């Protein structure tokens, strides 16, 4: 006679079945995390004690695995979006049996707990929670006191009152566990809320696991929150920059257009042409700004594409430098391109865009004029193009952040802070790298590489002198 008992749940992700056949007992352990089955057989008395011991051991291992899995996944691509959108769903998927997870972070300026990541409910139904109010929700109480809160049975729905509204799923919740999230220095930064639709899933042993998860998650949450705040700052400063940058050319265009209209016939042809040239130049400035913004949004949505084709980089460099020469009389350009510079696979338009950006920066940040040296080099695997100037230079603390969006070293000069991030994206999309080196007051060097595809020497070949033949 075979008895297959109901599974015994050790933790939310580990349980076992017992099969009894006569005097022998077989235990099938099932781990829901890695979907593995472990078979244990025993027919001696006292095996229950051994089984309990085994169960404890396996529970601990399983808990450790859960935590490791959660944080290794978070670490794989840690950024704000991953944290905010994936954390709750990740917790819900790894810790099997949980029906809803909400990650709350404390916003000091609003004195509220903000639900930053929600799984199991629609996020618009989850409310922000006051922390300083007279009547606090259970979650706010957990945040204030630092004591975990467990509720099972009918009281669960009541405990959720004021936290979730307008979501029918809320009424089916039978168990609730809320743990505070602290940093290692004891600073409380938020709470984790776990919900179950059954009342018997939550065992006292689980509390330890969830507290450990909250403790480990603290620094991640803190980092995400800091990132969010810095992004908010960046965006508000961007709005200011953009309004200023767009208004300046627009004012100019409007001014000259109005002048032309108001004084119809009074201006001679030469003056009119002068005004129209200014309007044309300022329109170009506006177009560039809008182009930068569009490029930036294309990067954001992953739509920036590069169309690789065999190109003579040397020609692109010469053309870009030639055009840059026309824009400035103060600067002297030196171009160094080795003979037999190879043909490479690259997007000619995008690569030119990168070069234009680097040359424009070199001109812009060396207002006194000076040398701008453009050097092309070839090695076995890639070609390197560098643009060096004698400008103001960049302090070391800014160097690493140059390729961040909207980051600007000198805010008094025109620009959106999008040129270098766009250049960086273009170069990386083509399999290259981009970097900068600089000493304040002594100029900067920007370099980028593009991979060599082994297409051999191009047509950019100059006949070399016939050394060694004949005497001098």
Partner 1 sequence: MNTKLVDHVTAMLEDSLRYTGEKIGDTGAIRLLKNNDADALGYFRYRLAMQVGIYLGETSEHVLEVFLYPEMPDEKITVTLPLTMIVRVRKHTAAIESIADALQDVLLAEYRKMFSPQADGLSVLLNVYFLDEDDFLGRKGLSAAVGSLYTPALRVWSSQGCRK
Per CB under 8 A, residues contacting partner 1 are 332-339, 370-373, 375, 377, 386, 388-390, 393, 437-439, 441-445, 462, 464-465, 467-468, 471-472
CA distance 82 to 75: 10
Least distance from partner 1 to the Cβ atom of residue 374, Å: 9
Q: Residue 430 or 438: which CB sits closer to partner 1? A: 438
Least distance from partner 1 to the Cβ atom of residue 453, Å: 21
Least distance from partner 1 to the Cβ atom of residue 404, Å: 22
Least distance from partner 1 to the Cβ atom of residue 441, Å: 8
Closest CA to 20 of 6, 4, 35, 7: 4
Q: Residue 304 or 373: which CB sits closer to partner 1? A: 373
Q: Residue 84 or 394: which CB sits closer to partner 1? A: 394
CA distance 1 to 4: 10
Q: Residue 24 or 439: which CB sits closer to partner 1? A: 439
Closest CA to 385 of 373, 394, 376: 376
Least distance from partner 1 to the Cβ atom of residue 410, Å: 17
Least distance from partner 1 to the Cβ atom of residue 366, Å: 9
DSSP per position, 146-164: ---EEEETTHHHHHTTTTB
For 96, how many CA atoms within 13 A lie in the half-sphere containing its CB?
14
E strands, 314-460, are 331-336, 343-346, 370-378, 382-389, 434-439, 443-451
CA distance 337 to 349: 20
Least distance from partner 1 to the Cβ atom of residue 369, Å: 9
Q: Residue 46 or 470: which CB sits closer to partner 1? A: 470
For residue 447, the cross-strand partners are 386, 435
Least distance from partner 1 to the Cβ atom of residue 143, Å: 52
Q: Residue 46 or 471: which CB sits closer to partner 1? A: 471
Least distance from partner 1 to the Cβ atom of residue 439, Å: 7
Q: Residue 223 or 319: which CB sits closer to partner 1? A: 319
Q: Residue 46 or 465: which CB sits closer to partner 1? A: 465
CB burial of 229-238 (b: ≥16 within 10 Å; e: otherwise) equals: eeeeebeeeb
CA distance 45 to 471: 105
CB burial of 188-220 (b: ≥16 within 10 Å; e: otherwise) equals: bbbbbbbbbbeeebbeeebeebbbebbbebbeb
CA distance 167 to 115: 15
E strands, 22-111, are 24-31, 36-42, 100-107
What are the φ/ψ torsions at residue 376 (nearest 5 degrees)?
A: -115, 135
Closest CA to 450 of 286, 316, 256: 316
Least distance from partner 1 to the Cβ atom of residue 212, Å: 51
Q: Residue 12 or 449: which CB sits closer to partner 1? A: 449
Q: Residue 142 or 394: which CB sits closer to partner 1? A: 394
Q: Residue 43 or 336: which CB sits closer to partner 1? A: 336
CA distance 353 to 417: 15
For residue 263, the 8-state DSSP code is T
Least distance from partner 1 to the Cβ atom of residue 359, Å: 13
What are the φ/ψ torsions at residue 227 (nearest 5 degrees)?
A: -60, -45
């Amino acid at each position: 006679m075979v008895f297959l008992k109901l599974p015994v749940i050790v933790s939310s992700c580990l349980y076992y079945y017992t099969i009894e056949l006569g005097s022998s007992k077989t235990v099938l352990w099932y781990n829901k995390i890695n979907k593995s089955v472990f078979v244990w057989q025993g027919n001696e008395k006292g095996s229950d004690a051994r089984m309990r011991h085994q169960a404890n051991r396996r529970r601990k291992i399983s808990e450790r695995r859960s935590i490791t899995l959660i944080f290794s996944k978070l670490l794989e691509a840690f950024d704000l979006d991953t944290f905010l959108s994936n954390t709750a769903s990740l917790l819900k998927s790894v810790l099997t049996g949980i029906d809803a997870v909400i990650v709350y972070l404390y916003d000091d300026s609003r004195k509220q707990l903000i639900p930053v990541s929600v799984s199991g409910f629609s996020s618009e139904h989850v409310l922000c929670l006051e922390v300083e109010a007279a009547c606090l929700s259970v979650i706010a109480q957990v945040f204030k006191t630092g004591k975990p809160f467990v509720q099972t049975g009918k009281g669960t729905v009541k405990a959720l009152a004021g936290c979730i509204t307008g979501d029918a799923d809320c009424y089916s919740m039978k168990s609730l566990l809320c743990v505070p999230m602290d940093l290692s220095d004891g600073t409380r930064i938020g709470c984790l809320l776990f919900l179950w639709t059954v009342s018997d899933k939550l065992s006292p042993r689980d509390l330890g696991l969830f507290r450990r998860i909250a403790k480990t998650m603290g620094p991640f949450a803190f980092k995400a929150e800091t990132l969010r705040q810095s992004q908010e700052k960046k965006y508000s400063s961007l709005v200011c920059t953009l309004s200023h940058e767009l208004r300046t050319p627009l004012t100019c265009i409007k001014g000259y257009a109005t002048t032309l209209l108001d004084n119809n016939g009074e201006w001679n042809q030469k003056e009119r042409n002068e005004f129209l040239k200014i309007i044309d130049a300022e329109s170009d400035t506006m177009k560039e700004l809008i182009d930068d913004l569009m490029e930036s949004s294309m990067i954001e949505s992953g739509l920036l594409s590069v169309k690789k084709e065999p190109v003579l980089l040397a020609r692109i460099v010469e053309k870009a430098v030639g055009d840059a020469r026309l824009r400035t009389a103060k600067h002297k350009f030196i171009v160094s391109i080795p003979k037999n510079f190879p043909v490479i696979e690259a997007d000619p338009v995008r690569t030119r865009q990168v070069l234009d950006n680097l040359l424009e920066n070199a001109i812009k940040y060396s207002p006194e004029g000076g040398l701008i040296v453009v050097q092309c080099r070839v090695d076995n695997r890639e070609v390197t193009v560098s643009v060096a100037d004698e400008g103001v230079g960049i302090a070391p603390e800014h160097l690493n952040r140059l390729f961040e969006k909207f980051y600007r070293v000198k805010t008094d000069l025109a620009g959106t802070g999008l040129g270098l991030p766009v250049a960086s994206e273009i170069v990386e999309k083509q399999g290259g790298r981009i970097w900068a080196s600089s000493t304040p007051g002594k100029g900067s060097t920007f370099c980028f590489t593009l991979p060599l595809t082994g297409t051999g020497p191009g047509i950019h070949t100059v006949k070399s002198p016939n050394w060694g033949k004949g005497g001098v």
